[in-house]
Structure 1
Amino acid sequence: MASAIALKQLKVFVTVAQEGTITAAADKLFLSKPAVSMALSELEKQLDHKLFDRNNNRLIINEQGKRLLPLADELLARSQTIEQLFNQTGPATGQLRIGSSDTVGNQLTPFLLRDFRRHADHHQQSLFIANTSHICHMLSEFELDVGLVEGNVQQADLISLPWLADEMVVVAHPEHPLAKLNQVSLQDLEHSEWILREPGSGTREFFLNRLAPRLANWQQAFELNTTESIINCTAAGLGLTCLSKFAVQRAVADQRLVILPLPLDMQRQYWLLYHKEKYQSPLMELFISFSQQWQFTV
């Protein structure tokens, strides 16, 4: 090659791969569009390969680009570690980008990060909360380092490690007729209206895979994209819902909701995810190891 590949070019390449357009990448990098286009063109010229397929204004990463992406991500991570090596007093350096699905992100991850910070003396983490499918997409695009989700993920490019166990519960308004029963059967749930999460949510997946097939007749009353909105709608008497016991414990303690006693195994597994080609920095290895040994305490 005529000249060495610059880290700036790799950063532009990774950002374009994540954002999909020159305009969005330029905004994220605080660069002009011509500067982004030039850096990308120079990189493709040096490698003698196109890294993207052009489709109108969108740039879709091609097979050559997909081969480069994990290597570019690794080099950028290593360079960041070098830059921060002498700016941090603890043993772990660098930025850690964590993604969590809604229930995990709101109920567990804040406490995990609290304990990890105390353990590692490391405070440079970011947290992004979305549904399981969105977290998986961001891991695939190398926008996140680690994902913590409740959905059972079957995705070839992601490593999926069992993490914490949880229990799902069916809850209702305290004045709901089923709340008066000492034991609730599946037959009692027939013809009920349900408040569910949106497609792509691990909580919705659990209901559709484990509970819905056992019911001959059920209706979806509402589809909402946050656990808190589902709790509020259920507390308003708009239907039943199936949520994590972690998520509803405060509403149950406040007597806004009651757990219906069902003769079902409602256990589920949470998962820790990362890309199989993701460079595991010492910081990432430390976080994964800590997470696997961690026990939840408020």
Structure 2
Amino acid sequence: MAIALKQLKVFVTVVQEGTITAAAERLFLSKPAVSMALSELEKQLGHKLFDRNNNRLIINEQGKRLLPLADELLARSRAIEQLFDHTGPVTGQLKIGSSDTVGNQITPFLLRDFRARCDHEEQSLHIANTTQICDKLNEFELDIGLVEGKVQAPDLAAEPWLDDEMIVVCHPEHPLTRVPALQLSDLEQSQWILREPGSGTREFFLNRIAPRLEHWQQAFELNTTEAIINCAAAGLGLTCLSRLAVAHAVNDQRLIQLELPLDMHRQYWLLYHREKYQSPLLKLFIEFCREWRLPNTQPSL
């Protein structure tokens, strides 16, 4: 049996893209070439690696057994190719995924410090919600995830990382800003501006605040934090966001924080696939993340 790296690359790309057409476009190959490479690999292994559902290919149990090994072989191949191309202590491409708040407010400073200490500049950053980051980790599209949502995925290792504080904010002229000694009961019947399903920020509201209210309404569902900030600043409702994310709008007096008698702290998480091959670069970055602390770069509220 002589399995080629090209076959493994086709296999991994099909897993990530879900269709022959999309994989062919990403690999700059024809669809017949991708189909043939995949068919030859399955023939050599003596097992089908996908279940066919219309035009989509869904990885089966045999494919899931192969995926981490294929990913490791491709990673080692890239490391060999790059071995003499760099003068720094580590080589390779690092693919990082961050959920919205972490990716916009924290990861840039993490990467700045990592580059300065480790002399490595080949990183990519993908920002999406927590669920989407987990999906890409499971498909080996990302090396590591830094997210704010609680994750329950058996194939992913989830380590507590940094702490965060959530706050409830609204337009400065909102009636609740004039309520003395505000209680959670004062938030009844309020309109809320929330992130989309799969977001750690939405999860925090639904788990920590919503169960304490008998009646509340969702005014808007938006997929970016800045859009939520602008809607709240326009007086369209309350919102619950990270203190880091909303600091600039509060300091500009576009929003005001509502002080509530409730623990609003939450945990950020460091994620990686349990079977992902950890190259020297990935091991170095994981250890750097474990030791790193956010510098005081944000204005206080």
Deviations 1:141-167 (A, max 9, x none): 111110010000011110000010000
- 1:23 is paired with a residue whose SS is helix
Cα pair 1:183 1:260 within 8 Å, conserved:
no
Question: Following TM superposition, by how much is the alpha carbon of 1:180 offset from its aligned partner in structure 2, in angstroms?
Answer: 2.9
Partner of 2:203: 205
Aligned counterpart for 2:150 among listed residues 149, 152, 155: 152
Structure 2: stretches of 5+ with no match in the other structure: none
Query: What is the alpha-carbon distance in structure 1 between the residues aligned to residue 96 and residue 106 of structure 2?
Result: 13
Aligned counterpart for 1:88 among listed residues 86, 89, 96: 86
Query: What is the alpha-carbon distance in structure 1 between the residues aligned to residue 33 and residue 238 of structure 2?
Result: 54
Question: Following TM superposition, by how much is the alpha carbon of 1:55 offset from its aligned partner in structure 2, in angstroms?
Answer: 2.0
TM-score by length of 2: 0.97
AA partner of residue 48 (structure 2): K
Partner of 1:248: 246
Partner of 2:183: 185
Question: Following TM superposition, by how much is the alpha carbon of 1:78 offset from its aligned partner in structure 2, in angstroms?
Answer: 0.9
Query: What is the alpha-carbon distance in structure 2 between the residues aligned to residue 217 and residue 265 of structure 1?
Result: 21
Aligned counterpart for 1:288 among listed residues 286, 289, 292: 286
AA partner of residue 44 (structure 1): E
Partner of 2:46: 48
| Structure 2 residue 31 is matched with structure 1 residue 33 | yes
Q: May I ask how many residue pairs the two structures share in their alignment?
A: 296
- 1:123 is paired with a residue whose SS is coil
Question: Following TM superposition, by how much is the alpha carbon of 1:10 offset from its aligned partner in structure 2, in angstroms?
Answer: 0.4
Partner of 1:99: 97
Question: Following TM superposition, by how much is the alpha carbon of 1:16 offset from its aligned partner in structure 2, in angstroms?
Answer: 0.5
- 1:93 is paired with a residue whose SS is coil
Sequence identity, in percent? 77
Aligned counterpart for 1:163 among listed residues 155, 161, 164: 161
Write out the 4+ residue segments of structure 1 that deviate beyond 3 Å after TM superposition: none
| Structure 2 residue 257 is matched with structure 1 residue 259 | yes
Question: Following TM superposition, by how much is the alpha carbon of 1:276 offset from its aligned partner in structure 2, in angstroms?
Answer: 0.7
AA partner of residue 144 (structure 2): V
Partner of 1:61: 59
Query: What is the alpha-carbon distance in structure 2 between the residues aligned to residue 86 and residue 278 of structure 1?
Result: 24
- 1:194 is paired with a residue whose SS is strand
What aligned pairs does 1:118-133 form with structure 2 within 5 A after superposition?
Answer: 118-133=116-131
- 2:3 is paired with a residue whose SS is coil
Greater shift, 51-60 or 146-155, is seen at: 51-60
Query: What is the alpha-carbon distance in structure 1 between the residues aligned to residue 277 and residue 220 of structure 2?
Result: 41
Question: Following TM superposition, by how much is the alpha carbon of 1:205 offset from its aligned partner in structure 2, in angstroms?
Answer: 0.4
Structure 1: stretches of 5+ with no match in the other structure: none
Aligned counterpart for 1:138 among listed residues 130, 136, 139: 136
- 1:272 is paired with a residue whose SS is strand
Query: What is the alpha-carbon distance in structure 1 between the residues aligned to residue 52 and residue 171 of structure 2?
Result: 53
Cα pair 1:165 1:269 within 8 Å, conserved:
yes
Question: Following TM superposition, by how much is the alpha carbon of 1:182 offset from its aligned partner in structure 2, in angstroms?
Answer: 4.8
Deviations 1:50-88 (A, max 9, x none): 111222221111111110000000111111111111111
AA partner of residue 203 (structure 2): E
Query: What is the alpha-carbon distance in structure 2 between the residues aligned to residue 180 and residue 87 of structure 1?
Result: 63
Q: CA RMSD in A?
A: 0.9
Question: Following TM superposition, by how much is the alpha carbon of 1:5 offset from its aligned partner in structure 2, in angstroms?
Answer: 1.0
Question: Following TM superposition, by how much is the alpha carbon of 1:183 offset from its aligned partner in structure 2, in angstroms?
Answer: 2.9
Query: What is the alpha-carbon distance in structure 2 between the residues aligned to residue 191 and residue 182 of structure 1?
Result: 18
Query: What is the alpha-carbon distance in structure 1 between the residues aligned to residue 217 and residue 48 of structure 2?
Result: 50
